[in-house]
Amino acid sequence: MKDLLVRLVIVIIAGAVVAGVLSGLAGRWDLWNVWAAVGIFVVLGSLQTLALHRKNPVCLRNKCSRPVASYGAAGRCILAST
């Protein structure tokens, strides 16, 4: 259960980073399409995490327990988004 919560928090933090970057690039915080894109990103990431937890919780546990440094820079971005 702890692994599931960790992954969901990572998805929410990644969504906040995406919102900050998109809003920063646009120069405004009140664009509906930025919030729609972030909402879709967070919902789909959460559903993916929940499906992985239901189908194979051992795989989710392994993804959370492996040191992030062993993935490399590109792997960390992919890991954070899955």
Q: Sorting pLDDT into bands at 50, 70 and 90, what band is 44?
A: very high
Mean pLDDT, the chain, integer: 79
pTM above 0.85, yes or no: no
Within 10 angstroms of residue 1's Cβ, the number of other Cβ atoms is: 7
Q: Rounded distance, CA 9 to CA 44, Å?
A: 14
- What percent of the chain clears pLDDT 90, i.e. is strictly above it? 17
Encode pLDDT of 4-14 as tens digits: 888 888 888 98
pLDDT tops 80 at residue 79: no
Q: Rounded distance, CA 81 to CA 1, Å?
A: 19
What angle in degrees, to the nearest 10, is found between the helix axes of 2-26 and 57-65? Answer: 60
pLDDT tops 80 at residue 45: yes
Q: Rounded distance, CA 31 to CA 67, Å?
A: 37
